[in-house]
């Protein structure tokens, strides 16, 4: 209901990229001096947390589709990033997800900024009337699109932001991957819709260094770089791991914690394909969260589909992973990584559960071993 208090509530929806894009829009507005309000699903350094209350009529809000939560919002400007098969335990089919996004777009009072390069999103927009429809995407048939994308070094990417064939200027990003180029394009379109100049858009994006747990660098010990990322769906894993593999690291180690038995079971082959991208995949036990393991799915079934994957067998006669068992598993993963990773390697922990604890454990163990030398 808070979104109804603002004349320009920018609500960012999509299966992937919500937190990053909401953070980008927030960073742009904040850097431009707008006293905005914000609600983000991750921590953003410039606002010292995940939310703020401001005096202007602008609010940024991450709009989550799970159990149709976003249908309770009052969006003035909706940003639709993409639509993919996720939360199938609730939606059942992709068609049902598309229907929910259609309802969300219809709720919007002023404008919908949507991904014209994503077939499912375009399908969701069919029949939407009574509001301005603005597209962003990969190609020149969209209103906003990137051109001349260059990966300069490490996490830095440059591109030209285009609007209806006209070059607006250069954007410099300090977050990895072409998926973030598209997120930045969407964020720019949203910020410019509420009156921010291109110069302020470019300045804000140049200052953006990522939201918490979105390819977040946690440390470097003995030449081993540690990064943590929230990716928990095959599409997100693919984008993140392709970005990681394009960087100049010796080897990439992906430490993945599968989240929910239903998602792991329903998307098993897709997870295996994504986790075959890095040089090494190391898997923890599945975090069941709100679910019981009625699917009889275990990490072994995923690991066996990934070349050279490493996992630590669980007693499969016991369907539940106890806290004691889980942390024992985390210790095994930590020791394996510390025994095998070398200088010049990237270790990236992935998942939306508590796999970030493994990242911290690896960092501490590497530091302990370094100081013991």
CATH, residue 171: 3.40.1190.10
Q: Is the domain of 160 the same as that of 67?
A: yes
Q: Is the domain of 234 the same as that of 201?
A: no
Domain extent for 62: 2-207
Q: Is the domain of 316 the same as that of 362?
A: yes
pTM value is 0.77
Q: Is the domain of 196 the same as that of 224?
A: no
Q: Which of 321, 314, 359, 322 lies closest to 341 in space, CA to CA?
A: 359
Taken in order 188, 191, 192, 193, the sign of the CA dihedral is positive
CATH code: domain of residue 278: 3.90.190.20
Q: Is the domain of 241 the same as that of 159?
A: no
Q: Is the domain of 346 the same as that of 303?
A: yes
Q: Is the domain of 299 the same as that of 367?
A: yes
- Pick the last residue of a domain from 207, 225, 247: 207
Q: Is the domain of 254 the same as that of 112?
A: no
Strands 280-283 and 156-163: unpaired
Q: Is the domain of 199 the same as that of 274?
A: no
| Distances, alpha carbon 18 to alpha carbons 13, 238, 319, 337, 372, in Å | 6, 17, 33, 30, 42
Strands 111-115 and 37-44: unpaired
Q: Is the domain of 112 the same as that of 160?
A: yes
Per-position pLDDT tens, the chain of length 373: 789 999 999 999 999 999 999 999 999 999 999 999 999 988 898 999 999 999 999 999 999 998 999 999 999 999 999 999 888 888 989 999 999 999 999 999 999 999 999 999 999 999 999 999 999 999 999 999 999 999 877 678 999 999 999 999 999 999 888 899 999 999 999 999 999 999 999 999 999 988 777 788 899 999 999 999 999 999 999 989 998 998 889 999 999 999 999 999 999 999 999 999 999 999 999 998 888 999 999 999 999 999 989 999 876 766 566 666 666 799 999 999 999 999 999 999 999 999 999 999 999 999 999 999 8
In SS3 terms, 222-247 reads as: CCEEEEEECCCCHHHHHHHHHHHHCC
Q: Would you give the DSSP letter of residue 10?
A: E
Q: Is the domain of 102 the same as that of 251?
A: no
Q: Is the domain of 177 the same as that of 247?
A: no
Number of domains in the chain: 2
- Pick the last residue of a domain from 207, 226, 249: 207
Give the long-range contacts of residues 142-148, CB within 8 A, separation 24 or more.
142/116, 142/117, 143/116, 143/189, 144/185, 144/186, 144/188, 144/189, 145/185, 146/171, 146/181, 146/182, 146/184, 146/185
């Amino acid at each position: 209901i808070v979104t109804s208090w603002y004349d320009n509530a920018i609500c960012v929806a999509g299966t992937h990229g919500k937190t990053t894009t909401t953070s980008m829009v927030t960073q742009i507005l904040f850097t431009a001096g707008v006293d905005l309000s914000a609600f983000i699903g991750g921590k953003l350094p410039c606002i010292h947390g995940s939310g703020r209350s401001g005096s202007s009529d602008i609010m940024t809000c991450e709009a989550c589709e799970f159990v149709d939560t976003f249908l309770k919002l009052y969006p003035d400007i909706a940003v639709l990033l993409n639509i993919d098969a996720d939360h199938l335990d609730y939606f059942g089919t992709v068609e049902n997800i598309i229907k929910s996004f259609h309802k969300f777009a219809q709720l919007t009072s002023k404008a919908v900024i949507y991904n014209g390069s994503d077939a499912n999103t375009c399908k969701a927009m069919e029949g939407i009337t009574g509001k301005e429809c603005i597209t962003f995407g990969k190609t020149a048939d969209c209103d906003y699109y990137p051109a001349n994308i260059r990966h300069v070094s490490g996490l830095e990417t440059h591109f030209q932001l285009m609007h209806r064939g006209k070059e607006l200027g250069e954007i410099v990003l300090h977050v990895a991957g072409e998926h973030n180029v598209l997120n930045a394009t969407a964020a720019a379109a949203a910020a410019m819709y509420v009156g921010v100049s291109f110069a302020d858009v470019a300045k804000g994006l140049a200052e953006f260094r990522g939201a918490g747990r979105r390819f977040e660098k946690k440390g470097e010990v003995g030449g081993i770089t540690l990064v943590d990322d929230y990716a928990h769906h095959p599409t997100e894993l693919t984008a993140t791991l392709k970005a990681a593999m394009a960087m100049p690291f010796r080897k990439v180690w992906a430490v993945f914690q599968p989240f929910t038995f239903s998602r792991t079971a329903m998307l098993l082959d897709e997870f295996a394909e994504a986790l075959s991208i890095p040089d090494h995949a190391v898997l923890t036990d599945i975090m069941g969260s709100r679910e019981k393991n009625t699917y009889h799915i275990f990490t072994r079934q995923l690991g066996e589909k990934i070349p050279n994957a490493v996992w630590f067998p669980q007693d499969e006669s016991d369907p539940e992973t106890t806290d004691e068992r889980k942390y024992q598993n985390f210790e095994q993963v930590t020791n394996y990584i510390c025994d095998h990773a070398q200088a010049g390697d990237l270790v990236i922990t992935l998942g939306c559960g508590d796999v970030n604890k493994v990242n911290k454990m690896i960092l501490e163990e590497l530091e302990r071993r370094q100081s013991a030398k």
